[in-house]
Amino acid sequence: MVNLPVVANVAIMLVLTIILVFVLAFILKHFKKMVPQFSGIVQVLGGTNLGNKSKLVLVEAYDTQILVGVCESQIQTLYVFNKNETDDKSKAS
């Protein structure tokens, strides 16, 4: 025979454990938003998806903009913009 108080105790502990997991996930999700985002040397300026697992990303590092192709197995530099090129285009617009 199954002892009903023992089964009820196990069920209550299981429910409490699941509730605790969800509460901790909720708290961590909101604390993650509070962490300050430092603007470092490398910044992602933008990007676009080209397919399921590939995309183009424009990255700025040390005042140089780099167009990078990212796919599942590799990252490849496609073009490096000179400081003069980006300054000329911003002045033209």
* Rounded Cα–Cα distance for residues 77 and 36 (Å): 29
pTM above 0.75, yes or no: no
The closest alpha carbon to 58, from 74, 42, 39, 40, belongs to 42
The closest alpha carbon to 62, from 88, 37, 35, 80, belongs to 80
* Rounded Cα–Cα distance for residues 45 and 20 (Å): 38
CA angle 34, 58, 64 (to 5 degrees): 100
Q: What would the pLDDT profile of 31-76 be if each residue is shown by its tens digit?
A: 776 656 656 788 888 899 988 889 999 998 888 899 999 998 899 9
